[in-house]
Amino acid sequence: MAYELPALPYPYDSLEPHLDKATLEFHHDKHHKGYVDGLNAALAKIEDARKSGDFALLQHYERLVAFHGAGHANHVQYWENMAPAGKGGGGEPTGALAEQIKKDFGSFENLKKELSAATVSVEGSGWGLVAWEPLGHRLITLSLLNHQNASFIGSHPLLICDAWEHAYYLKYQNKRADYVAAWWNLVNWADVSKRFAQATHHH
């Protein structure tokens, strides 16, 4: 079964003024779709190799699976991590997630500063994220390079912010920090809390 591009969970103009309609159209319909197509193409090549028994180019296609597969997964989460401002988006975390944030970062304000820095400081293209790390039983921040590099395998991403220029350049140009500051108004804390509950269920 081929991977498919899921629809955006909200209308293209519903994240205005923080993220504009044109950015969401290009980002979802062109960029995200490109990763879905790239993943399917790479997996088809690996399926061909299985049939022929010729794995000479497997290394190449495995890299494409990692890049496009992580690109697809990151974008699915990015969309679900957001909601229109004031209608599910923005505010502060509550309950068990809020308690864990206080334990690991000292305060929500500290987490905000750290994740903003992790996102703004990405060299080139990448992502800032907060993950639950089950071995150490804690929340951590990470700065991904591209979609898949500098990740911590086994950790569960809870909240992810796209730092690729295609996520903000139409509206914010070079001002990545302004985009990240606006993005906080869109964070869907109910979705982040749901992911936290799932990630910590067996730990």
Interface residues toward Mn ion, by CB under 5 A: 162, 164, 167
Q: Measured between alpha carbons, how far is 8 from 75 in angstroms, rounded to an integer?
A: 10
Beta carbon of residue 78, minimum distance to Mn ion (angstroms, whole number): 7
Beta carbon of residue 61, minimum distance to Mn ion (angstroms, whole number): 22
Q: In terms of CB distance, is 49 or 170 closer to Mn ion? A: 170
Beta carbon of residue 146, minimum distance to Mn ion (angstroms, whole number): 11
**CB-nearest residue to Mn ion:** 162
Count CB-CB contacts under 10 A for residue 30.
10
Beta carbon of residue 32, minimum distance to Mn ion (angstroms, whole number): 7
168 within 8 A of 179, measured Cβ to Cβ: yes
Residues in CB range of 67: below 8 A, 6 or more apart:
38, 146, 147, 148
54 burial type by CB count under 10 A (0-12 exposed, 13-18 middle, 19+ buried)? exposed
Q: In terms of CB distance, is 162 or 191 closer to Mn ion? A: 162
SS3 107: coil
Q: In terms of CB distance, is 80 or 133 closer to Mn ion? A: 80
- Residue 129 token pair: 């994220």
- Residue 164 token pair: 């690729």
Using the structure block, give the residue that is written with the tokens 């730092």. Answer: 163
Q: In terms of CB distance, is 10 or 164 closer to Mn ion? A: 164
Q: Which residues sit opposite 82 in a β-bridge?
A: 187
Q: In terms of CB distance, is 67 or 164 closer to Mn ion? A: 164
Beta carbon of residue 30, minimum distance to Mn ion (angstroms, whole number): 10
